[in-house]
Structures are given as C-alpha cells and as structure tokens.
C-alpha cells in the first residue's frame, strides 16, 4: 500500500503519524494534500503542547513563589545576597512586563535578549544573572513544567581578572581606627581583631566576653579579645546588641567611603572593604603560630581546605 492510500484510508492523528514514520517519506514524496494534512497535524500538536504548558503555568502564583524563594535565601544567605536576588528579579519583572512576556515562560532566547539589555560592570551583570538563575533552579525543583532558561547561556559577560587583594598594614589600620566614627570603628575593630564577617554584625549578641551571631546561614559563637571588649564598653551603643539598628549594606558603605576618603588624602595605600579587615585578621592570626586548624575554627570555615584556599588567595605561604 502506498503512502497516499494509507493517509486516505485512515485519518486519525495517531495512525497518520504511524503510517508516515513507517514509510519514512521525504517531503518530496508527499502530495500537496498530504503536505497540508501533515502541516495541520504539526500545528495541532504545537497548539496542544502550548495549551498544556499554559494550563499548568496558570496554577503557579509567581509572586508567592518569589517570596518563598527570597525567604529561603534570607535563611541560608546573607542580607546582601537576599537584597541582590530581589533586585535581580525586579529587573526581570520590568523587562517581561515591558515586552509582554510571562516571567514563568522565559526561554533561552528571551533570557539571552534580557542579558544583552543589562548595564553596568561585568561583575554587576553576572550578579544579576546568578540571582535569576538561582530563582529558576528553585522553580525547576518545585514545578516540573519549568526549566531554568539561564542554564548554558553564552551571554554571560566575561569575568575580568581579579586584582590582587589589598590588606591593611598595622599603621594603616591604626590610622583608619583613629579617624572612624565610633560605631564604624567598633565594627572594624571586631572584623580585624576577631575576624567576624560584616554580615554577622547586625545579629551580634554579646554576654560578658562571649558572643553569638549568624553568619552565612549558620549560628556562630566565640569570645572577644580584651581590646574589643574594652571598646564595646566605652562606645555609646547597646553593649548587648551594638549593631541591631544599622543595616549591613549601610555599614559596609560607610566604612568603604571613609577608607576611600583616607586613600584620596594619601593617608593609606588603598581604599579597603569590610572583608579586607577579615583578611587582615586571617593573616595576622595565622602568622602567630601558623596553626591552620586553629585559624579555620576562628574563621568559622566548614573544613580546612577552605582555609587553605583562603590563605593562598591572600598569597600566604602555608
């Protein structure tokens, strides 16, 4: 039986697909009528798939899912990470609204087009892309109908080589501490003499010489050296929770702007970020006895290999 007879005698979609696949004709083997039948079949199938997808997406409340995602980020990441992810999704929301897209129906092409609209440095763009990719990965785990369209994109900006890490000298640290307002001074003192991350300061609670806080989603605790305790007592702040009223981003910005001012005045060799004071602590503490296990515990690293990589990035010989 020819392909034409098979298509004529059986008009069901399933049998039509079966008949064509068995005979494996090329388009040149089909008549105009057969081509029209195949075209209708393809269009019908595509519309069916599209309708099935839309019907499944209708049951997903994007705003609820977004809020759950950001809540989870707040439990496992820093305040800065949560804020960064929130801003990334807001950018994507504005883009999809402007172009009439459903944010849950973004595909690789649309994501690539969105990435090309981003402005700012390579690091800024990659931060936005990472936040969006994390959201879609979260959605992919919760809803099988959604796939992460960012995965595999070639549109990510090329990362620029990371510049050498600058660490304050003892003299520079002395200069910075003696010119900072008291709350920022206390923060730098804690980061440089105890090595706490700036993100852990807001939730810092102090009892006597001991403290507890949350850093990168986990509870940390330890003891402060005498110099830190002395400064806490003479600083006009709540001795139990000195940083509860100031956001992490505001504290980071104030400290960086102050060191930038000192740098422009020629008083220090570089503007320093909050993490540079943790670097100062890491190097200073390690050089006391070169006990990497003790340092790893002080830095609240989950394993020794992280501490080794950390020291290598600071160009410290282990």
- d(CA 187, CA 203) in angstroms, rounded, equals 13
Query: In the CATH hierarchy, which top-level class contains the domain 62-142?
Result: mainly alpha
Question: Would you call 255 exposed, middle or buried from its count of C-beta atoms within 10 A (0-12, 13-18, 19+)?
Answer: buried
DSSP letter string over 112-125?
HHHHHH--S-HHHH
Tell me how far CA of residue 104 lies from CA of 58, 99, 128, 139, in angstroms: 10, 14, 17, 9
- 318 residues of the chain, pLDDT tens digit each: 444 444 443 445 556 556 655 665 566 666 777 767 767 777 766 666 666 656 666 778 999 999 999 988 776 656 667 888 999 999 999 999 999 998 988 899 999 999 999 988 887 888 899 999 999 999 999 988 888 999 988 887 776 555 567 899 999 999 999 999 999 999 999 999 999 999 999 999 999 999 999 887 789 999 999 999 999 988 888 889 999 999 999 999 999 999 999 999 999 999 999 999 999 999 999 999 999 999 999 998 888 888 888 888 888 887
- For the chain, residues classed under CATH 1.10.443.10 are 170-313
Structure tokens at 179: 């010119």
The answer to whether domain 170-313 has CATH 3.40.50.1000 is no
Q: Contact 136/148 with Cβ under 8 angstroms?
A: yes
Q: How far is CA 273 from CA 87, 155, 258, in A?
A: 22, 29, 10
pTM beyond 0.85: no
Q: What sign results for the dihedral spanned by CA atoms 217, 157, 139, 143?
A: negative
Residues of the chain within CATH 1.10.150 domain(s) are 62-142
Neighbours of 66 (CB within 10 A): 19
Question: How many Å is the Cα radius of gyration of the chain?
Answer: 29
């Amino acid at each position: 039986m020819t392909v034409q007879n098979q298509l004529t005698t059986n008009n069901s979609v399933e049998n039509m697909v079966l008949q064509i696949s068995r005979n494996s004709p090329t388009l040149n083997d089909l008549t105009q009528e057969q081509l029209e039948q195949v075209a209708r079949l393809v269009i019908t199938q595509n519309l069916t798939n599209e309708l099935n997808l839309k019907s499944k997406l209708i049951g997903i409340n994007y705003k609820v899912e977004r809020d759950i995602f950001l809540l989870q980020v707040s439990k496992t990441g820093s305040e800065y990470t949560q804020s960064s992810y929130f801003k990334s999704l807001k950018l994507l929301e504005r883009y999809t609204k402007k172009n009439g897209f459903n944010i849950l129906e973004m595909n690789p092409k649309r994501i690539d087009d969105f990435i090309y609209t981003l402005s700012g440095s390579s690091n800024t763009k990659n931060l936005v892309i990472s936040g969006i990719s994390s959201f879609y990965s979260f959605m992919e785990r919760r809803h099988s109908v959604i796939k992460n369209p960012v995965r595999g994109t070639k549109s990510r900006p090329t990362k620029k080589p990371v510049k050498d890490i600058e660490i304050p000298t003892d003299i520079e640290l002395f200069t910075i501490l003696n010119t900072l307002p008291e709350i920022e001074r206390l923060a730098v003192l804690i980061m440089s003499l105890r090595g706490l991350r700036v993100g852990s300061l807001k939730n810092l609670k102090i009892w006597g010489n001991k403290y507890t806080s949350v850093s990168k989603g986990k509870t940390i605790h330890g003891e402060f050296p005498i110099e830190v305790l002395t400064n806490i007592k003479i600083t006009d702040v709540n001795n139990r929770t000195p940083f509860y009223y100031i956001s992490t981003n505001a504290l980071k910005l104030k400290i960086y702007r102050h060191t930038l001012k000192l740098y422009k005045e020629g008083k220090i060799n570089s503007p320093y970020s909050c993490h540079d004071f943790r670097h100062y602590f890491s190097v200073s503490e390690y050089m006391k006895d070169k006990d990497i296990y003790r340092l790893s515990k002080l830095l609240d690293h989950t394993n020794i290999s992280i501490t080794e990589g950390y020291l290598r990035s600071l160009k410290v010989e282990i």
